Amino acid sequence: MKIVILVSSFPPKWLGGMEIATQNIARYLAKDGNEVHVVTSLDSGLPEEIQKDNFFIHGASYPKIKILGTIIFWIKCFFLIKKINPEIVHSQTIQMGSPSFLAKKFWGIPYIVYCRGSDVYFPWKFKKIISKMVFNSADAIIALTDDMRNELKKYCKKDIIVIPNGIDLEKFKGFSKQAVRDKFKIHFNKKVILFVGNLRSVKGIDYLIGAMNSIKEKVPEAVLLLVGDGEQKKELEEMVKHLNLEENIIFSGKVLNKYIPEYMSASDIFVLPSLSEGFPMVILEAMASGLPIVATKVGGIPEVVKDGENGLLVEPKNSKQIAEKVLLLLENNELREKISNNNIEKAKEYSWRNTIDKIEKIYSEVMAKKHGK
Which domains are delineated in the chain?
2-166+351-370 (3.40.50.2000), 169-349 (3.40.50.2000)
Can you tell me the mean pLDDT for 176-183?
90
Global model pTM greater than 0.85: no
DSSP-assigned letters across all residues of 72-136:
HHHHHHHHHHHHH--SEEEEESSTTHHHHHHHHHHH---EEEE--SHHHHS--TTHHHHHHHHHH
Strand pairing class (2-6; 88-92):
parallel
Distances (CA, A) of 278 to 32, 135, 177, 301: 27, 19, 30, 8
Residue type, 179: A
Q: What are phi and psi of 86, to 5 degrees?
A: -80, 170
Residue 90 reports pLDDT greater than 70: yes
Nearest C-alpha neighbor of 214 from the set 327, 329, 316, 313: 327
Residue 154 reports pLDDT greater than 80: yes
Nearest C-alpha neighbor of 190 from the set 234, 236, 247, 254: 247
- The reported pLDDT for the residue numbered 144 is 92
Q: State what percent of residues in the chain have pLDDT above 70.
A: 100
Strand order of the sheet with strand 111-114?
A: 49-52, 55-60, 35-41, 2-6, 88-92, 111-114, 140-143, 161-162
pLDDT band at 373 (very low <50, low <70, confident <90, very high): low
Calpha distance 228→230 (Å, rounded)? 7
Angle between helices 97-107 and 68-84 (to 10 degrees): 50
- The reported pLDDT for the residue numbered 44 is 86
